[in-house]
A and B are shown apart, each in its own frame.
Chain A
Amino acid sequence: MQTPLWKRLLIWGIVAFGLLYAMPNLFFARVESHNDAAEAAAKAGFATPEQEAAMALWPDWLPSGIVNLGLDLRGGAHLLAEVQVADVYAARIDGLWPDVRDKLRDLRDQIGNVRRVPSPPGELRVQISTPAGLEAAVAAVKSLAQPVITLTGVGQNDLEVTVVDGDIVVQLSEAERAATDDRTIQQSLEIVRRRIDEVGTREPTIQRQGADRILIQVPGIGSAAELKALIGTTARLTFNSVVQVTGDAKAQPGSGNVLLPAQNDKNTFYILEKAPVVSGEDLVDAQPAFDQNGRPAVNFRFNPTGARKFGDYTAANIGRPFAIVLDDEVISAPVIQSHIPGGSGIITGNFTVEESTQLAVLLRAGALPAELVFLEERTVGPELGQDSIDAGTKAAVIAMIAVGLFMWASYGLFGIFANIALVLNMALIFAILSIIGGTLTLPGIGGIVLTIGMAVDANVLVFERIREELRGQKNPIRAIEIGYERAMSAIVDANLTTMISAGTLFFLGAGPVRGFAVTLGIGVVTSVFTALLVTRAMIEIWYAWRRPKTIVV
């Protein structure tokens, strides 16, 4: 019953590989600080003495992959946000109105007066006073549409112009909505990522989920509320004209105006015109810079639309202040020195270098294109996580010992082979988790404990079958061979059905449940390997060494 040499080498090779790659997990804290330091040093391009010390904790030539601890074990916050993509339609359509108006004004003699009538958000409804000109008006509005370039929407225009009850109704077309949604989500993802990276926490997960959702998981952060505050700010940037500067927090701004506080001065308030001159959406770039006096400042540049509006405004308002407003706080209110025609400018204020850099980043990162609604949030404190790790580890160790004793009592030496295979199985699970960067969650530990109970099942089936064959007076070698062969089909069936469950589980839920699916799935594969191939290889070695005439299972 000799397995070919190459196969034996492969089996023991995989076992050795598994042990090697599982080992770093035994020195979790040490390897973790090594990895963190190495990553930080690689990012910065040099290593501080503390980082050098941390890196020396673990030799570079050993594998340094360790399992990712899930939020329920490490502590941290999890958020599921829904991007209100429809917000963007409304903004787009509202932004269209001036263009539509200008276009229709040119046709005044044909269509008469043009008036916008109330309509649901995302829809622009225009009334004209001379119904005879409707066709010409529709054609004029249609000329504003531009082709959408997407994989499916080729040849479609971005606007849909229809006539309802004699009014012209302008909406975004289906193709444009799809394209806009995609862009909105991509932008939101990017902005959320930038804002979280700003804080520099370790390994955040920021993923798109489904059509319009973003999943955010940040280990180590104190609470979901904190995380929400960080990413939930819309960072809406506007440039408004200043009506008055006051120290009175209760000043009456008057209609069409708004009273906003200054960001870095509690006693200064600005009364601003509510309608912004230009908004952050028109910014294409912002960079930290220095003004002519060598003070930190921020350079910015508008797109053509913004540049035109900004140019017109600055030309008309030289010598007067205008306010740069971020999320309802005035970050600075410089005085317009000259007409700024090119669409670029410089923001000066009492900035430090850090502040100007920060401002440039925020401006570049820009506003969230749409509001985020948080559908789900979970915070787990690090103490509870540690308690869970402790309890899970204890359960796993006790399960292992109890199952091991039971197998030994039931199958003697063969039981011990199965137990060794069980230990190797655990090592392989951790090795695979470490290599694929899988996340270990509390239910995931549950999956591992369950695997302890299930992995020996395959051995039970084989050993029982061998017993049966021995009773039929087969010689030992034959009995072992038949035992492994005949038990195979039931073992494969059993494990494939478990795999079906693990597969559905993987798609059922993100987070802890998915962690369970992953360990269960890996456990199925490794346990088939260890329980069939590894125990068989062990039995072969033992048999070749002892050459027993009879065996007892």
Chain B
Amino acid sequence: MAWRLRLAPEKTSIDFFRWQWVTFGGSMALMLLAFLAWGVMGLNFGIDFKGGTTIRTESVTPIDTGGYRSALEALPLGDVAITEVFDPSFAADQHVAMIRISAQDKTAAVTPETLADVEAALSVMDPGIKFTSVESVGPKVSGELVWTSVLAVAVTSLGILAYIWLRFEWQFALGGVLALLHDVFITIGIFAVFQLKFDLTIVAALLTILGYSINDTVVVFDRLRENLQKYKTMPLRDVMNLSVNETLSRTLMTSITTLIAVGAMLVFGGDVIRGFSLAIFLGVLLGTYSSVYVAKNIVLMIGLDRSDKPKGGASGQYANIDA
């Protein structure tokens, strides 16, 4: 037999419930911590959600954030944040900084005059400075974006819930979606803890996680359904363990292929989409974990009705034929 790379032995019989209080309990604790971090530290919202202006500057001379700050202090701008950006893909004499200015108006984006003032002040500091991107979002739009984002996450979750319900039992749907929310909230928690910029692309990443993380769970559920038919008297817990063991190899394989691709994007994709890549990377990682350790635990907790009554009414009259 030819050599093959194996992530899991051909046959495993791991008891995935054995350390339940560590794995599932740990997950719940982590989720709580994520909520706590979110509540206490808050998210570092980008201008998409908070309104304001970001200016990306590029210069051949090293960036002197103090100098930038004092150059802008003379202007009546309110809150100004200056951060230097580092990326392995930058050339040796490529120095990039991001300048964020709080919103200046109640509805509109930044005025050309304010922008011109800022650019002039920085150009005095560093004549070779280039403004490679300027983005400004007025508070009116950012307020709406917050709501559309929350709505989008809710609608997607409900859509997936409805779909899984349609294809499986409602217990599966609930377990699957709760596991998804676990992935999403811990990801948000990590963004809160490290105060990473949270903008519209991160929400896009979260929605992608919702759609993708359910995949592993579906594979496990699919096998679980098959095995429930096969082993009608085996305790639910054992059928679940069997199903997870049988699908372990493909769960790991599908996650690793995706992580490889997203990892490449994280490392080589440049700093502009780094946050986005990171969110998806974390989400895929958490999603794999939760489909093994979270989703089925919830189903087990709710319990399944395994009496052999058929789901649809139409075939009811034949239900006892093969009994």
Contact = CB atoms under 8 A, between A and B. Distances in A.
A410 B215 CA distance: 20
Contact of B4 (A384, A412, A460): A412
B132 A494 contact: no
Interface string B150-180: 0010011001100110010000000000000
Interface residues of A, number: 76
Interface in A495-522: 496-505, 507-509, 512-513, 516-517, 520
Interface stretch (A250-258, A274-282, A345-353, A385-393): A385-393
Nearest to A374: B109
A380 interface: yes
Interface in A383-406: 383-384, 387-388, 390-392, 394-396, 398-399, 402-403, 406
B107 A456 contact: no
B269 A504 contact: no
B148 interface: yes
A490 B133 contact: no
A194 interface: no
A501 B259 CA distance: 19
B273 A500 contact: no
A329 interface: no
B110 interface: yes
Contacts of B211: 497-502
Interface stretch (B21-29, B33-41, B134-142): B134-142
Contacts of B5: 406, 409-410
A376 B222 contact: no
B144 to A, nearest CB: 9
B270 interface: yes
A387 B148 contact: no
A456 B258 CA distance: 9
Contact of A391 (B89, B152, B164, B259): B89
Interface in B102-122: 107-110, 112, 115-116
Contact of B261 (A399, A493, A505, A552): A399
B280 A450 contact: yes
Interface stretch (B76-84, B197-205, B307-315): B197-205
B245 interface: no
Contacts of B131: 381
Interface string A524-553: 000000000000000000000000000010
A72 to B, nearest CB: 8
Given A376-B137, A513-B204, A383 B132 contact: yes
B214 interface: yes
Interface string A26-65: 0000000000000000000000000000000000000000
B264 interface: yes
A500 B159 contact: yes
Interface stretch (A9-17, A223-231, A238-246, A305-313): A223-231
A493 B89 contact: no
Given A402-B260, A412-B4, A457-B257, A504 B156 contact: yes
A508 B109 contact: no
B59 interface: no
Contacts of B108: 373-375
Given A403-B257, A499-B211, A449 B201 contact: no
A442 interface: yes
B130 interface: yes
Contacts of B6: 410
B256 to A, nearest CB: 7
Contacts of A509: 145, 148, 200, 204
A395 B134 CA distance: 25
B219 interface: yes
A235 B80 CA distance: 36
A396 B260 CA distance: 11
B253 A464 contact: yes
A452 interface: yes
A473 interface: no
B254 interface: yes
B253 A516 contact: no
B138 A505 contact: no
Given A453-B262, A505-B207, A493 B269 contact: no
Contacts of A425: none
A489 interface: yes
Interface string B234-268: 00000000000011011001101111111111011
Nearest to B4: A410
25 contacts: A82-B107, A228-B112, A384-B58, A390-B89, A391-B268, A391-B269, A396-B265, A402-B261, A409-B4, A410-B4, A443-B273, A450-B265, A453-B258, A453-B261, A453-B262, A461-B219, A493-B167, A494-B219, A500-B156, A504-B159, A504-B207, A505-B208, A508-B149, A513-B201, A517-B204
Given A452-B261, A512-B200, 11 more contacts: A380-B132, A392-B273, A403-B261, A443-B276, A446-B269, A453-B259, A464-B253, A497-B211, A497-B214, A504-B159, A504-B207
Which 3 pairs of residues, A with B, have the shortest CB-CB distance? A501-B211, A453-B261, A391-B270
